[in-house]
Amino acid sequence: MAVEYYDFGPHKIHHSSVFHTTDISFAFVNLRPAVQGHVLVCPKRKVKRVADLTDVETIDLWRIAKKLGRQLESFHKASSLTFCIQDGPQAGQTVPHVHIHILPRKSGDYENNDDIYDDINEKEKELHQALAVDNERKDRSIEVMAIEADEYRKFLF
């Protein structure tokens, strides 16, 4: 039987938000995307830091990120990609479970290209505050996220 929830650090990701899985990893849509198509790829095993990944996990994560990146870029009619890992709290990691951010990029999406990193952190700060006040989702509903994941399931991989 398929699992109902996937562990993402302390968070439970409903299967409807997960659009690709292997035995080792899963890919899911973001609660607070910085740009359209901002998704996350994560090992199923709860691993905090990149150095804790096995070689098999490392290869699987990047194999998925590589393929998904190309497909998401085309799906969202983008022309570049930002791949990013915040590895440890001082690097901006807010969820202690390794994840690769994939962000399709378009011309003019940010005034300065690298502003996207500030935006990722800003979105995470907002999310953190929202979750601290009330453990409910205030922004994207599970239904909206499921629709996005459904689309990817149909068109990607």
Instruction: Out of 21, 63, 67, 95, name the contact with ligand AMW by CB under 6 A.
Output: 95
Backbone angles phi, psi at 6, to 5 degrees: -110, 140
Give 47's contacts (C-beta < 8 A, 6+ positions apart).
Answer: 53, 57, 97, 98
101: annotated active-site residue: no
Min separation Cβ 36 and ligand AMW, Å: 14
What is the Cα–Cα distance from 123 to 140, expressed in whole angstroms? 12
The Cα-based distances of 13 to 7, 44, 112, 116, 153 in angstroms read: 6, 11, 32, 24, 16
Min separation Cβ 28 and ligand AMW, Å: 6
Using the rule CB under 6 A, is 71 a contact of ligand AMW?
A: no
Give 14's contacts (C-beta < 8 A, 6+ positions apart).
Answer: 4, 5, 142, 146
Binding segment for ligand AMW among 47-55, 88-96, 106-114, 147-155 (CB under 6 A)? 88-96
Host H or E run for residue 40: strand 39-43
For 26, the 3-state DSSP assignment is strand
Min separation Cβ 93 and ligand AMW, Å: 4
Min separation Cβ 116 and ligand AMW, Å: 12
Using the rule CB under 6 A, is 32 a contact of ligand AMW?
A: yes
Contact 44, 6 (CB under 8 A): yes
Using the rule CB under 6 A, is 11 a contact of ligand AMW?
A: yes
Number of residues that bind ligand AMW (CB under 6 A): 14
Give 95 or 156: the residue with its C-beta nearer to ligand AMW. Answer: 95
Using the rule CB under 6 A, is 27 a contact of ligand AMW?
A: no
Catalytic residue among 15, 99, 101, 128: 99
Q: Which residues are catalytic?
A: 99
